């Protein structure tokens, strides 16, 4: 891994005089881990078509990726954000730079530097994605690397955000960071590198736009509490989640958080007046039981409307359902129905149902202590939740030796899959056994188990 990390700095043409400085080193690595500009490690692919490579969901670790890249010096297919993050964690650590993966839920992708996310509707209330490329991802994974920042004001050292996923150009290259996490929290987006983009990921406001009667776009609402949730990493010396949200932002809606957003928008946006709009006195909320929603099954969406004013209100609107990629990009518009002139008395709530559209742990109990170079058995099982069979199945195992794959037979609809896998661990000490079940229909059904490997 060390040879591969040094090779990336070499083919990335990082000057020898800069290789002792972690700031340019991690910035260069964030460019070299993706292949967009320079033949780096990983090819990004969000299309769902992976026939000429490997699905991003089926990787169980970065070692197999880096070994394949090191073997032929050609980009490896394919990766998405969590794969890029895992690879850059490995190469940075190989160089002695403390690095960890960070996951942000409801992660904004600001494409125009406004540090806001624009959501545009046409005059019939249908979402129009042709006028903006902004989106909010279900989640996004980047990294933090620990270093001093003598180029920044005091207090801006420590954890720095970096991101190898190719999203937006920075100085003409697909790279991101390092940027001080503390600077992001304070809204100091003039600090290098790529602070406006990272700030928007965790703290952008969603701006909702619609054409007025004159045809001019009018801001019909601002949502300042839906982006940047449960920012997470792995807790040191534990398998628990460590919440990092308060290192990136003050509590949503607090005076400190609003001050940071306004400070950032003085640089990124020319529409500070939008933040002075009064809140609407009719509120809306949606509920849907995502835990029990499966492919091919029905589900309900509940819309609750509440009149908080002291006067009668008439509400018109539209309910729309679309399938979306986790990147927030609409795949298919499924259904769209209007509702018109609903009368609400002061303080009245209305609840309406729309659209009835027509875990077991993967690893069974496994030993906690095993011996190196001694085979033991791992039993893997889960129940297929779909009404269709699972085909082209295989189980991937990582964490105890080199990555392994075990081809499996098809799994019948609603059937239970059980397999016993022979594993021979190679390395000593505490580690984590990672098992992933993959098929054409379902991918990345995974489980993990902490194991201690002792000498024979």
Among all residues, which ones are annotated catalytic?
Answer: 81, 140, 163
Measure Cα distances from 76 to 26, 42, 141, 249 in Å.
20, 5, 19, 35
Measure Cα distances from 191 to 195, 196, 199, 264, 369 in Å.
6, 9, 11, 11, 48
Strand locations in 93-223, DSSP E? 99-109, 116-120, 135-147, 158-162, 169-170, 173-174, 179-180, 205-211, 217-223
DSSP string over 103-134? EEEEEEE-SSSSSEEEEEB-TTS-B-TTS---
Distance CA 64, CA 70 (A): 10
| Packing angle of the helix pair 81-94, 22-32 (nearest 10 deg) | 140
H helix runs in 354-436, sequence order: none
Q: Kindly give, in sequence order, each residue whose CB lies less than 8 Å from that of residue 164, ignoring residues fewer than 6 positions away.
A: 29, 30, 31, 33, 34, 42, 84, 85, 87, 88, 142, 143, 175, 176
Please state whether 261 falls in left (phi above 0), alpha (psi between -120 and 50) or beta: alpha
Distance CA 179, CA 31 (A): 15
Q: Which two tokens stand for residue 188?
A: 């100091």
Q: Which residues does residue 352 pair with via DSSP β-bridges, in sequence order?
A: 303
31: buried, middle or exposed (CB in 10 Å: 19+, 13-18, 0-12)? buried
CA atoms within 13 A on the CB side of 404: 16
User: How does strand 369-371 pair with strand 445-454?
Assistant: parallel
Please state whether 263 falls in left (phi above 0), alpha (psi between -120 and 50) or beta: alpha
């Amino acid at each position: 891994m060390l040879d591969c990390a040094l090779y990336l700095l070499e083919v990335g043409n990082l000057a020898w005089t800069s290789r002792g400085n972690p700031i340019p080193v991690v910035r260069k690595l964030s460019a070299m881990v993706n292949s967009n500009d320079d033949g780096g490690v990983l090819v990004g692919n969000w299309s769902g078509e992976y026939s000429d490579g490997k699905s991003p969901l089926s990787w169980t670790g970065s070692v197999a990726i880096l070994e394949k890249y090191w073997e032929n010096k050609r980009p490896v297919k394919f990766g998405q954000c969590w794969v890029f993050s895992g690879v850059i964690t490995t190469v940075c650590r190989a160089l002695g730079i403390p690095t960890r993966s960070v996951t942000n839920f409801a992660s904004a992708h600001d494409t125009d530097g406004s540090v806001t996310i624009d959501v545009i509707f046409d005059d019939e209330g249908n979402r129009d994605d042709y006028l903006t490329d902004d989106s909010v991802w279900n989640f996004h994974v980047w990294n933090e690397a620990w270093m001093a920042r003598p180029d920044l004001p005091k207090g801006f050292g420590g954890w720095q955000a970096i991101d190898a996923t190719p999203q937006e150009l920075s100085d003409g290259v697909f790279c991101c960071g390092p940027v001080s996490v503390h600077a992001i929290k304070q809204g100091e987006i003039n600090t290098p590198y790529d602070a406006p983009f990272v700030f928007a990921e965790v703290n952008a406001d969603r701006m909702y736009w619609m054409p007025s009667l004159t045809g001019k776009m009018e801001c019909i609402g601002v949502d300042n509490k839906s982006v940047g949730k449960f920012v997470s990493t792995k807790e040191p010396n534990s398998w628990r989640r460590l919440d990092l949200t308060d290192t990136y932002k003050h509590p949503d809606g607090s005076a400190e958080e609003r001050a940071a957003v306004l400070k950032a928008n003085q640089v990124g946006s020319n529409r500070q007046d939008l933040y002075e709009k009064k809140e609407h006195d009719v509120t809306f909320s949606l509920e849907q039981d995502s835990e029990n929603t499966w492919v091919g099954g029905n589900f309900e969406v509940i819309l609750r409307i509440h009149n908080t004013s002291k006067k009668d209100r008439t509400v018109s609107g539209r309910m729309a359902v679309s399938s979306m990629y986790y990147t927030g990009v609409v795949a298919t518009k499924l259904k769209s129905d209007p509702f018109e002139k609903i009368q609400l008395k002061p303080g009245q709530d209305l609840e309406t149902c729309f659209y009835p559209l027509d875990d077991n742990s993967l690893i069974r109990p496994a030993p906690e202590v095993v011996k190196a170079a001694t085979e033991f058995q791992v039993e893997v099982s889960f129940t297929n939740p779909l009404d269709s069979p699972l085909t082209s199945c295989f189980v991937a195992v990582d964490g105890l030796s080199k990555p392994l794959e075990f081809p499996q037979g098809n799994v019948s609809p609603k059937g239970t899959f059980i397999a016993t896998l022979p594993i021979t661990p190679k390395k000593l000490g505490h580690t984590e056994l990672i098992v992933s079940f993959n098929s054409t229909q379902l991918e990345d059904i995974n489980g993990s188990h902490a194991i201690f490997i002792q000498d024979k």
